[in-house]
Structure 1
Amino acid sequence: MAKKNIGEMSFLDHLEELRWLLVRSSAAILICATVAFFFSDFIFNKIIFGPKDPNFITYRFFCDLSNDLQISESFCVTELPFNIQNTEVEGQVSLLIWTCITAGFIIAFPYMLWLLWNFISPALYEKERKYAKAFVSIASLLFFLGVLFGYFIIIPMSVNFFATFTVSPDIKNDINIQSYISMIKTSVIASGLIFEMPIIIYFLSKVGLVTPDFLRKYRKYAIVLILILAAIVTPPDVVSQVIVSIPLLVLYEISIFISAAVVKNKEKEKLNA
């Protein structure tokens, strides 16, 4: 059945379109999760447990960097004194299933963006609908950059901090596998979604909910929030917080530029109308 024009669609038609978006997205996640299942050994041993290894690439990079800059050797990770254990009967089965689903979500994200674009495209102008490939490509790139940032920056810092932190030498860190995996999933997905900030600002600016003046006015508050967020997800040292804060601040400044471009184009359209 041909897709109706947005002016011809009723509320129920919109709900039907949304239902199929969710159905297709769920199917894509399950298909990708099935593919991930066949690579579960690699996902667990190389990816998930990678930051548990003192020779992980991030630890080596920061150690070499600290040596080159002749700063604190605390960035050199020599050991991560903790064990990972499972304490639930069905824990490892549940862990395998939900890890594959998470991997499926990450892999299927570009396709879900394409479905989202098809859902909102009837509300856009004809010339804006031609930007589908650019939207999906840029949004996917930002998401995957966020995922990589979470995996290679936030997670190693968090693992190193929590593995070495102790209130007493009599307490050993035997970390529950569910807690460890939860930290991994939360960090990478949250980082991926946070990196979508420019895309979100673009659409908010299109509908008039956000303006560049608003973003500039509240920039100082945004900086404070970003620093607080960085302090939450990183160990309590200034260098780690700065490393996490810089990309977020850059994304915020890019969002201001995007919002300004959107507002400028809207003003040109009004003059030409």
Structure 2
Amino acid sequence: MADPTEESRPEEAEEDGGGPVKTFLEHLEDLRWMLIKSGTALLVGMIVCLYSTNKVVSILKWPLERAALIQVGHKQKVLVKLGEEDVFSFQPATNHIGPLDLGTNPLIILQIKPVEEGTNIHFVARVEKDPPSSERARSATDLVYFDPAAPFMSSLHLAFFAGILLTAPFIFYFVGEFVLPALKIKEKKYLLRAFGVGVGLFAAGVCFCYFIIMPRALKFSELFALWMGIKVPEWRAETYFGFVTKFMLGMGMGFELPVVLLALVKIGILDYKKLSAMRRYMIVINLVLGALLTTPEVFTQIMMAVPLQLLYEISVWIAWYWERKEKLREAQAGSQDY
């Protein structure tokens, strides 16, 4: 007669175990191929992004153009154009230049056109007090390079980070091919859920930074420089691109906080009481993360710390819900035993 414990072993192995048992060298071989495939995917993504650097630059310049549309206070900016070319811009002390009334809009276009009359050329000035938003976006701070090698190095920098974002699904897939066979079925379920939520939160953090925080942070930097008495008609392009990419990636990584905390709750390292007791410390930690993952200024630091603290509070309440649900399940199981 067969031993019933032996019959249940395959089922237990199927429930608990992962893929086939491999030797150490076989694991190293799998790791090598995972790194090769991930590196190849990243290299292909970098080549694609390097070929499309002009489009990547246009995407990264959008927050700067959006910042030009934000009006703070009553300061005006006059953009002087010769024909269709932008010549320079300045901020008048008042909304009057001699007899010329500039109105109250934040951007005024002073267009100068040459008119030929016989052998003489006259310049005719026309004031556009309510230019379209496309013209206002063109008045954004210019990006310039001051180093002959800067455009090439900057394009490599952009291609690297854009390549990571572009090939991230493939890299995660290759990593999953390497890790998932060794996990138990229950662990696979939790990991796949965490992966889906983590990808969504990372994308939400990047989009939140790109569409909401970044234009306001750039506007704040410009206004702060003007408050110091320093004009900012131009910024170094490589510095700007580094700021934007670092800020967006930092915000995306910061939005992964609930995944890490709730994973620790599932493991048993943290619980609702511990998370509640850590609230005051998390405020300081989020401010430190805001300083490390963004530029070292108070405005962007606070703008990143606030959503991180909100995500922490959401994690605390999810942990409370899980703990309450587990207690109810245990109470129901205890009542059924009696």
For normalisation by structure 2, the TM-score amounts to 0.60
Q: Considering only aligned residues, what root-mean-square deviation do their CA atoms show, in Å?
A: 4.0
Give 1 or 2 for the bigger CA radius of gyration: 2
List aligned pairs for 1:79-228, cutoff 5 A: 82-122=141-181, 124-130=183-189, 134-166=193-225, 168-169=228-229, 172=232, 174-227=234-287
DSSP-derived class of the 1:169 partner: coil
Runs of 5+ consecutive residues of structure 2 not aligned to the other structure: 1-16, 78-105, 108-138
Between stretches 168-177 and 23-32, larger displacement belongs to 168-177
Alpha-carbon spacing, 1:225–1:159, altered in 2? closer, same or farther (3 Å) = same
* Structure-1 separation of matches of 2:302 and 2:74: 16
DSSP-derived class of the 1:210 partner: coil
Q: Show the counterpart of 1:27.
A: 40
* Structure-2 separation of matches of 1:93 and 1:135: 38
Task: Indicate conservation of the 8 Å contact 1:144/1:192, yes or no.
Answer: yes
DSSP-derived class of the 1:94 partner: helix
**Distance apart, 1:89 and its partner CA:** 1.8
Comparing both structures, which one devotes a greater share of its residues to strand?
A: 2
Task: Indicate conservation of the 8 Å contact 2:243/2:295, yes or no.
Answer: no
Task: Indicate conservation of the 8 Å contact 1:102/1:185, yes or no.
Answer: yes
Alpha-carbon spacing, 1:127–1:98, altered in 2? closer, same or farther (3 Å) = same
Alpha-carbon spacing, 1:95–1:243, altered in 2? closer, same or farther (3 Å) = closer
Q: Show the counterpart of 1:42.
A: 55
DSSP-derived class of the 1:88 partner: coil
Alpha-carbon spacing, 1:112–1:201, altered in 2? closer, same or farther (3 Å) = farther
Alpha-carbon spacing, 1:93–1:265, altered in 2? closer, same or farther (3 Å) = farther
Alpha-carbon spacing, 1:11–1:131, altered in 2? closer, same or farther (3 Å) = same
Task: Indicate conservation of the 8 Å contact 2:143/2:235, yes or no.
Answer: yes
Q: Show the counterpart of 1:67.
A: none
**Aligned AA (1:224):** V
* Structure-2 separation of matches of 1:121 and 1:84: 45
**Distance apart, 1:177 and its partner CA:** 1.4
